[in-house]
Chain A
Amino acid sequence: MKDILQELESRRAQARAGGGARRVDAQHAKGKLTARERIELLLDEGSFEEFDMFVAHRCTDFGMEKDRPYGDGVITGWGTINGRMVYVFSQDFTVFGGSLSETHAQKICKIMDMAIQNGAPVIGLNDSGGARIQEGVASLAGYADVFQRNIMASGVIPQISVIMGPCAGGAVYSPAMTDFIFMVKDSSYMFVTGPDVVKTVTNEVVTAEELGGAITHTRKSSVADAAFENDVEALIEVRRMVDLLPLNNRDGVPKRPFFDDPARLEPSLDTLIPDNPNTPYDMKELIHKVADEGDFYEIQAEFAKNIITGFVRLEGRTVGVVANQPMVLAGCLDIDSSRKAARFVRFCDAFEIPILTFVDVPGFLPGTGQEYGGVIKHGAKLLFAYGEATVPKVTVITRKAYGGAYDVMASKHLRGDFNYAWPTAEIAVMGAKGAVEILYRSELGEPEKIAARTKDYEDRFANPFVAAEKGFIDEVIMPQSTRKRVCRAFASLRNKKLTNPWKKHDNIPL
């Protein structure tokens, strides 16, 4: 009997050894942890339950039958993060370079199916050389099986990808379809075609880091949502992220004990808006002062900085925040910021996360670059996302809400539940100067007249009261009481029920 038990232990030891000490050392030398070490960091200590430890590939070509390591380059299973269940797969670069075989894919598919069925997030730790070339089309089929599950899981359970090594070719499309992608600086990259192919086809010389490193994807392409210094920091921050997310689309947001008074007043917010309407201010100060404990988990902090997206807690419950940032491009909407915010709003709506919107938007960015790039359809994405969202929506206009951008930013007209404005709000079709130049074109030659007209327009529209008269603003609030008002608004919406007409799915302008 003892021998039989011993047999299990020795096989487990073999599986846990991965690609062997030499490859593990090589992995460490690259500043990377092994697949199992990463799982240890991601999950609560001792909570990991493994599946398919002894799975091995079935390939017999190219002499592969002689090398059939346990696990086949990926470790799968479930565990807990602060006691909440998550499923996880972690690709093992020390075994066949983490390449994806038919069986490797099957392991991933198994836990994804369970995650969808049992309503828990899937976290993928990606570190793979790509397809298992020896397996040919079987490997490609494996990818597609994973893709199909990513699609089915989308909007059902949160899916998080952490890119912790190479992720190239077809492999990129699985993370691409997950909700969030995090990368590790200097040791991860993602691209559809690598530098060699780029050189051959376009004669462009580019390094892997430039083509698809963490900086590229957080700043330029917006493929990644955040980048971290190393594996340890990345996994600590993923745990923090998971603390904020619902386990699935039915459970609602997590609640956590909090030590911050929901009625806390912030007198300093009364002076946040500068006297000069053309002077920027930092919208993040408002976010920090409204959030529980000043804690803000920003998503896509390095991309399209003219809009801010991320998560806060109010009374211990997760709330998604979207805010124009006057510090960058005056906080205008453009292609990038619309796309960034639209995707965030849709994530929140899919998972029943209430949305808080802070508005200071002078309009859409003008120019050929924007129009040729299709700002019409990209801008419409954000409009669509806000309009279709059925979660509680609370909006605070701090300063400018001009033109179509006013409509877009979670306005009352898009089923906003609470639309508050600060006394400094200006809700108008456009700024006074532009409006007067159109309305009084014939007087343009007479500066005094135009100045008087401009003053009239400002007096009439550079305030929130015209909109409040019409009921488009539910209440004009003191800036210092924003946290209190917003907390109470969300508290009143905890039982909100709103459904859209039945449809197979909508047709958002992609």
Chain B
Amino acid sequence: MFSKILIANRGEIACRVIKTARKMGIKTVAVYSDADRNALHVEMADEAVHIGPPPANQSYIVIDKIMEAIRQTGAEAVHPGYGFLSENKAFAEALAAEGVAFIGPPVRAIEAMGDKITSKKLAQEAGVSTVPGYMGLIADADEAVKISNDIGYPVMIKASAGGGGKGMRIAWNDAEAREGFQSSKNEAASSFGDDRIFIEKFVTQPRHIEIQVLADSHGNTVYLHERECSIQRRNQKVIEEAPSPFLDEATRKAMGEQACALAASVGYTSAGTVEFIVDGARNFYFLEMNTRLQVEHPVTELITGVDLVEQMIRVAAGEALPFAQGDLKINGWAIESRLYAEDPYRNFLPSIGRLSRYRPPAEVVEPARAIRNDTGVFEGGEISMYYDPMIAKLCTWAPSRDAAIQEMRLALDEFELEGIGHNLPFLSAVMDHPRFASGNITTAFIAEEYPEGFEGAELPEDLLRRVAASACAMNRVAEIRRARVSGRMDNHERVVGADWVIRLQGQEYAVTINADREGATVRLNGSEYRITSDWKPGQPLARLMVDGAALVMKVARIPGGYRLRLRGADLRAQVFSPRMAELAALMPEKLPPDTSKLLLCPMPGLVVSLNVAEGDEVFEGQALCTVEAMKMENILRAERKGRVAKINAEAGASLAVDDVIMEFE
């Protein structure tokens, strides 16, 4: 076994690999760029080597720099993580040349699977089901129609050079095929200067399901079942689970065996993933093979009990797999939520900055549940603009899918994250989405269910009532504490009442609280709720039991009330005495203030740079310009979506407070 390995990566995956190495008694070497000087992976590793400036192409993916770090530290093997150099043939070769083990597949396998066309050919040869299609040049529309009929409708007509939906058409019949061929060709010619076209089967109700394989150098290849990764936003996976709620045993076995056959055919060793697209009739077609550890590997680990990183290291050291296919059973259900520093209320715009609060739920492993959080950040750390905006991968495990979802709901509600925009509320909303719960999902789930983006979840009435009852009980505790301030008039203290009215999400509820030593019984609109909690006033996270069911929410004080966050909802709660509620009802509804269509200079300063031009469409939160004041650079951002009508300042201009920098339409 190796005595020291280098992890040629950063962030959560570097931390993940270090954990296993440490468990195995292997020393670890981290590499870091300037931006990661204080990063968690650097802290966790036994040694760390600085490899250059923040941009990855000047540090993490510069092979020479990694090789130099290996020489410096005498690492015997390298784990590449995912991304960066993990599927880079040249890197694997460079390692081989110096006799350093690559904790990954052989160069030949990387190369074979690295090319889409070659890998598809190899897959066909290995008997793997591939998307039926025609790869050769298509002369004219007649030929296109003929090929389409051979494949069977619906078909997708695609430009070879295509991307981003351009030069792509779906045809359900001959007429559409004819028309689609011509328009794709034209579009391809004008967009890419390359009008070559190919046609393949269009997969309806597509799901992204992938098979984890593991192979050693002794000829053993096994599959560790599947992961379903259909919840994606613009091809970025957001939520994954294992097993898939869609596969039956026969399909699973067929996919697994084909995946193993493909791996074996290229002499694969180490961990790898064979991605399939699966249609509504459980037909599956090979997409590609990823010759590395996948981001979402923890869900497989949770259901199989196999530490994939450990097996990768052992295989790289020449050991044989300690299990055979028959030993690999599916135990329970695991779900992974990827926490991204992307603001769902601002069209998922990346958000960077300081994590002023970062408190993930405690990791647990119990007989009926487990919570795992893979992360590379810490409270007080920085999410920088240079790398992947992923903050953490939160996984839950339970014996059933429903239970795993329920664990995830609570774990997300417990996750405290402040200082930057993040997608926690969106993840919560998906967990509560009935279609997700039903398992009837496709890769179009997010696009179909959130066509207008995400504006926060609405809580269902029964949950809202439980929240209302809880908030009233908590407010009562807070009010009693307030009434215990010093300097009270003896014998004339404030008596905190039992009757309250709460306003929440546009609803108003009358509430009566009967408190006792253990908790409170709250009567709300005729129903009764039994509430217990160890929450104390001022604590930002409240864990309650409402009629025996757990309820977790984030609580913050705001003028005139509370801000409550749970299950993807961001609520303003106002708790009144009955008389206050009567008077509050007299207060006018105020429209949100008319935010002006001007960007004003907030301070006297110098315009350092303008990031947009007249006529540009800008998103909420987009950086518009940078103003330097007192030697500090302040970035001014768009308050909402719009178009820049006029720019009144230029770089280098010196501005006073409230000078108009730009105007919007």
Hey, which chain B residues are within 8 Å of A414, CB to CB? none
* A237-B559 in contact given A82-B494, A260-B538, A330-B630 (Cβ < 8 Å): yes
The CA of A201 and the CA of B87, in the complex, are separated in Å by 78
The distance from the CB of B497 to the nearest CB of chain A, in whole angstroms, is: 7
Could you tell me the distance between the alpha carbons of A295 and B419 in the complex, rounded to whole angstroms? 17
Q: Which residue of A lies closest to B585 (CB)?
A: A232
Q: Is A45 an interface residue (CB 8 A)?
A: yes
Contacts of A443 in B (CB 8 A): none
Q: Is the CB–CB distance between A80 and B485 below 8 Å? A: no
Tell me if A255 and B485 are in contact (CB < 8 A): yes
A residues 270-323 in Cβ contact with B at 8 Å: 270-272, 275, 278-282, 285, 292-295
**B519 touches A (CB below 8 Å):** no
Interface membership of B281, Cβ < 8 A: no
* Candidates A243, A269, A294; contact of B485 at CB < 8 Å: A243
Quick one: CB contact mask for B355-384 with A, threshold 8 Å, 1 for yes? 111100000000000000000001111100
B487 proximal to A (CB < 8 A):
yes
Q: Is the CB of B559 within 8 A of A82?
A: no
Q: Which residue of B lies closest to A291 (CB)?
A: B538
Q: Which residues of B contact A44 (CB under 8 A)?
A: 494
Task: Pick the contact of A232: B38, B489, B584 (CB < 8 A).
Answer: B584
Q: Which residue of B lies closest to A84 (CB)?
A: B487
In the assembled complex, the CB of B338 is this many whole angstroms from the nearest CB of chain A, namely 23
- B633 to chain A: closest CB distance in Å? 7
| Contact of B483 with A83 in the complex, beta carbons under 8 Å | yes
Q: Which residues of B contact A243 (CB under 8 A)?
A: 482, 485
Identify which of residues 608-662 in chain B touch chain A, using a CB-to-CB cut-off of 8 Å: 629-634
CB distance from B378 to the nearest CB of A (A): 8
Within 8 A of B (CB), among A227-278: 228-233, 236-237, 243, 246-247, 251, 254-260, 267-272, 275, 278
Given the complex, which residues of A lie within 8 Å of B451, measured CB to CB? none
**B483 contacts A362, C-beta separation under 8 Å:** no
Residue contact B579 to A40, C-beta cutoff 8 Å: yes
Q: Which residues of B contact A232 (CB under 8 A)?
A: 560, 576, 580, 583-584, 587
B381, A271: Cβ atoms closer than 8 Å: yes
Q: Which residue of B lies closest to A369 (CB)?
A: B604
Which residues does chain A contribute within 8 Å of B629, judged by CB atoms? 329-330
Contact of A477 with B by CB under 8 A: no
B488 and A330 form a contact (CB under 8 A): no
A296, closest chain B residue (CB): B557
Residue from the list A31, A268, A293 in contact with B379, Cβ < 8 A: A268
Residues of B within 8 A of A388 (CB): none
For the complex, is B89 an interface residue (Cβ under 8 Å from A)? no
Q: How far is the CB of B359 from chain A (nearest CB, A)?
A: 10
Other-chain contact of B486, A28, A45, A255, A271 (Cβ < 8 Å): A255
Q: Please give, as numbers and ranges, the residues of chain A lying within 8 Å of B540 by CB-CB distance.
A: 294
Partner of A186, one of B354, B358, B590: B590
Question: What are the residues of chain A within 8 A of B390 when measuring CB–CB?
Answer: none
Instruction: Decide if B517 is an interface residue (CB 8 Å cutoff).
Output: no
> Closest B-chain residue to A326, C-beta based?
B632
Q: B282 near A: Cβ within 8 Å?
A: no
For the complex, is B586 an interface residue (Cβ under 8 Å from A)?
yes
A85 located at the interface, meaning its Cβ lies under 8 Å from any Cβ of chain B in the complex: yes
Q: Do A31 and B633 touch (CB < 8 A)?
A: no
* B330 in the interface (beta carbon within 8 A): no
Q: Check if A41 is an interface residue, CB within 8 A of chain B.
A: yes
Contact A228 B489 (CB under 8 A): no
Q: Does any Cβ of B come within 8 Å of A156's Cβ?
A: no
Nearest to A255 among chain B residues (CB) is B486
Q: How far is the CB of A364 from chain B (nearest CB, A)?
A: 11
Query: Are B492 and A37 touching (Cβ within 8 A)?
Result: no
A246 to B485: give the CA distance in the assembly, Å: 11
Q: State whether A82 touches B485 (Cβ < 8 A).
A: yes
A281 touches B354 (CB 8 A): yes
A221 at the interface (CB under 8 A from B): no
Q: Is the CB of B485 within 8 A of A33?
A: no
A62 to B632, CA, bound (A): 64
Q: Do the beta carbons of B583 and A279 come within 8 Å of each other?
A: no
Contacts of B577 in A (CB 8 A): 45
Instruction: Give the Cβ gap from B609 to chain A, nearest Cβ, in Å.
Output: 16
Which residues from chain B contact A37 at a C-beta distance below 8 Å?
583
**Provided the pairs A47-B492, A294-B538 are in contact, do residues A247 and B632 lie with their beta carbons within 8 angstroms?**
no
Point out the residues of chain A lying under 8 angstroms from B603, CB to CB.
328-329
- The number of residues on chain A lying at the interface, defined by a beta carbon within 8 Å of a beta carbon of chain B, is 60
Q: How far is the CA of A83 from the CA of B496 in the complex (A)?
A: 11
A332 at the interface (CB under 8 A from B): yes
Q: B376 → chain A, closest Cβ, in Å?
A: 15
B630 close to A28 (CB less than 8 A) = no
Residue pair A256, B485 in contact (C-beta under 8 Å): yes
A479's nearest neighbour on chain B, judged by CB, is: B380
Q: Does B539 contact A (CB under 8 A)?
A: yes
Is B488 touching A84 in the complex (CB atoms < 8 A)?
yes
Q: Which residue of B lies closest to A187 (CB)?
A: B588
| Interface membership of B435, Cβ < 8 A | no
**Does B587 lie within 8 Å of A230, measured CB to CB?**
yes
Residues of chain B within 8 A of A41, CB atoms compared: 580, 583
Q: How far is the CB of B265 from chain A (nearest CB, A)?
A: 50
CB–CB A259/B537 < 8 A: yes
Closest B residue to A277 by beta carbon equals: B631
Among candidates B576, B586, B590, residue contacting A28 with C-beta atoms closer than 8 Å: B586
Closest A-chain residue to B381, C-beta based?
Answer: A271
B454 to chain A, nearest CB (A): 26
Contacting A293 at CB < 8 Å: which of B358, B537, B559?
B537
Query: Cα distance A257–B486 when bound, in Å?
Result: 9
Which of A258, A268, A280: most chain B Cβ within 10 A?
A: A268
With A47-B494, A267-B379, A362-B630 known to touch, is A259 a contact of B485 (CB < 8 Å)? no
Bound Cα distance from A32 to B287, whole angstroms: 66
B 541-559 to A, binary, CB cutoff 8 A, 1 in contact else 0: 0000000000000000101
CB of B380 within 8 A of CB of A268, answer yes
Query: A394-437: contact bitstring with B at CB < 8 Å (1 yes, 0 no)?
Result: 00000000000000000000000000000000000000000000
Known: A31-B587, A285-B356, A293-B539. A233 touches B481 (CB 8 A): no
- The docked-state distance in angstroms from the alpha carbon of A327 to that of B630 is 10
Q: Judge whether B23 is part of the interface by a CB distance below 8 angstroms.
A: no
Whether B630 and A82, one on each chain, are in contact in the complex, defined by CB atoms closer than 8 angstroms, is: no
Interface residues of B in 494-533 (CB under 8 A from A): 494, 497
Of residues B37, B481, B537, B583, which shows the largest number of chain A Cβ atoms within 10 Å of its Cβ? Answer: B583
State whether the Cβ of B493 lies closer than 8 Å to any Cβ in chain A: yes
Write the nearest CB–CB distance from A299 to chain B, whole angstroms: 14
**A260 CB contacts on chain B under 8 angstroms:** 538
Of the candidates A259, A270, A330, which one forms a contact with B380 in the assembled complex, judged by CB atoms under 8 Å apart? A270
Which chain B positions have C-beta within 8 A of A45?
494, 497, 577, 579
Closest 6 CB pairs of A and B: A293-B538, A268-B380, A330-B630, A83-B488, A233-B560, A259-B536
A-B contact pairs, 8 of them (CB 8 A): A33-B586, A45-B579, A83-B488, A83-B489, A229-B559, A254-B487, A255-B485, A272-B354
Given contacts A37-B583, A232-B580, A280-B632, 7 further A-B contacts (CB under 8 A): A83-B494, A231-B587, A255-B486, A271-B380, A279-B632, A330-B630, A332-B630
